[in-house]
Amino acid sequence: MAKIEIAGKTFSTVKLLFMAAAGIYLDGYELSVISLAALYMFPILHFTKLFQTLVLGAVILGTIIGTIGAGFLTDFFGRRTIYIYDLLGYIIFGVLQIVSSDPWIIVISRLFMGIAIGADYPVSNSYIAEIAPRDVRGKYLAFSNVSFVSGSFTSVLISWIIFESSSVIPPDIGWRLMLVLGVIPAIVVFIMRFQMPESQRWENVKGKIVGTEIAKDMFTGLGGKFTILNSTLWFLYDMAVYGASLFIPTIIMRVYGTSTVPNQINALYDSIFLLVLLLSAALITFIIDTTGRKIIQIVGYIGMGIFFLLIPFGFQDLYVFILIAVMVEFFNGFVGTTTGMFPAELAKTEFRGSAYGFASMMGKIGALVGVFLIGLGTAYVGKDTAPVLQFFGIMMFVGAALTLFLVDITDMDLDQLYEFKMRLSEE
């Protein structure tokens, strides 16, 4: 088991990794479970269409605020401080959402949960990148994506069990149980995180961090190039993935020929897609440090692009659609892993949290755009929506092309690229 020495104390890097990635796991759980809990929640609480939209979108909006805000704060106050208290917010508002039936309290609770979840993105991946040994840094960063998908898969599995147990667990208890089960592990991790040391890399530069310089370095020169590229790539990725994921239940309903599909069936198909994504992400975790980041991301974008273009051809047959969707999820595991890795590795320590937070924020904005575009096309399934899905496919090819301009630092230390450029300028 790898060890790391920080401030004269020895820590297990594996233990630190699990505590760091736990927030990403909770994010995956929370973003996925609400769509299934809503199948019970909305009819029971008689939510209007407006409140249904607000409940589903509150977490995404919150993550937009949380990622950019916490990213900036973590560069000033340290990774550890933000790391501990963002989970405290998640726990408080996670409990509040399940003890109330008031739509506004639920919406506000989920908004603040989203802020707490969003805060964990820049802090988690900055911290992991800074504590991981170079030869396994890719594997450790890739574990964040595995954690996210694991959280999503767990939420679907728990929801399926609760749906199957409807004779024992009444729906009004069922939706609350689905949501509260994401809070329990958060309490455990919150307590454990007090044991985490501060990042030594951040400690080494904290006296040099100035707000105006962070903004300048993030958007000019080499740092600016990577900030803009990573933000654009994350925007394109989330736009397609979040937009298309909302369309899957509509396809399934169309093939069934009914306006509703049994809750268990929705959970079953969700679990199939997430299992494929989980296996793909796990595969990438094992090869990322030998294959490199760029080739994996390019192959992933191209694979997603091809199968996004093919999705409309599966509208008439459920099994053809499932096959195509499974292939989209397989290549999603490639891009989902590297999209969150490049911002952590290509930003300088002085502004790593801020640059990562900005890129993650742009991803969530992309998710909102994707949801909006799909919403425009759902009136006539298979007709108006087909061009939107194929547009997503074309954007995946754009993502593959833009990846060519990134630098793969698989064999480099963090900040080595900037140090090399500085030596060249001095010479």
In a domain, 89, yes or no: yes
Range of the domain at 47: 11-426
CA distance 277 to 304: 12
Q: What is the pLDDT of residues 170-213, one digit of tens each?
A: 988 998 999 888 888 888 888 888 888 888 888 888 777 666 66
Q: Which two tokens stand for residue 343?
A: 């911002």
Higher pLDDT among residues 36 and 288, named by residue: 288
CA atoms within 13 A on the CB side of 158: 23
Higher-confidence residue of 65 and 258: namely 65
Which pLDDT score, from 0 to 100, does residue 249 have? 64
Residue 99: inside a domain:
yes
Q: In which band, very low, low, confident or very high, does the pLDDT at 228 lie, cut at 50, 70 and 90?
A: very high
Considering only residues 195 and 397, tell me which one the structure prediction assigns the higher pLDDT: 397
Number of domains in the chain: 1
Mean per-residue pLDDT of the chain: 83
Per-residue confidence (pLDDT) for residue 78, from 0 to 100: 85
Does residue 249 lie within any of the structural domains? Answer: yes
Examine the pLDDT at 43 and tell me if it is beyond 80.
yes
Report yes or no on 281 lying in a domain: yes
Q: Which residue(s) pair with 11 in the sheet?
A: 4
Q: Residue 336: its pLDDT value, please?
A: 92
User: Residue 85 domain-assigned?
Assistant: yes
CA of 110: how far to CAs of 58, 242, 322, in Å? 6, 18, 31
The predicted-structure confidence for 341-352, as pLDDT tens digits, reads as follows: 999 999 988 889
Structure tokens at 119: 């805060």
**Does the pLDDT of residue 421 top 70, yes or no?**
no
Q: Two tokens at 204?
A: 């080494």
**Higher pLDDT residue, 138 or 323?**
138
* More confident of the two residues 179 and 48: 179
Residue with tokens 């802020």: 115
Residue at 388 is within a domain:
yes
Distance CA 416, CA 346 (A): 10
The first and second tokens of residue 396, run together, are: 């995946």
Which CATH number does the domain housing residue 208 bear? 1.20.1250.20
Sign of the Cα pseudo-torsion (171, 178, 86, 188, in order): positive
Give pLDDT, residue 316: 73
Helices (H), 340-351: 342-346
- Give the range among 13-22, 108-117, 147-156, 409-418 with minimum mean pLDDT: 13-22
- Does 274 have pLDDT greater than 80? yes
Provide the pLDDT for residue 334: 95
Task: Identify the pLDDT of residue 258.
Answer: 58
Q: Does residue 7 register a pLDDT over 80?
A: no
238 falls in which pLDDT band (50, 70, 90)? Answer: very high
pTM reported for the whole predicted model? 0.86
Class of residue 144 by CB neighbours under 10 A (exposed 0-12, middle 13-18, buried 19+): buried
Question: 3-class DSSP state for residue 262?
Answer: coil
- Residue pair 66/116 in contact (Cβ under 8 Å)? The answer is yes
| 165 to 153, 180, 203, 254, 265: CA distances (angstroms) | 18, 17, 51, 26, 14
Is residue 168's pLDDT more than 80? Answer: yes
Residue 6 within a domain: no
Give the separation between CA 70 and CA 61, rounded to whole angstroms: 14
Q: Does 301 fall in a domain?
A: yes
pLDDT at 157 over 50: yes
What percent of the chain is modeled with pLDDT above 70?
87
pLDDT at residue 426, rounded to an integer? 44
DSSP 427: -
387 Cβ partners below 8 Å, 6+ apart? 377
> Which of the four pLDDT bands, split at 50, 70 and 90, describes residue 425?
very low
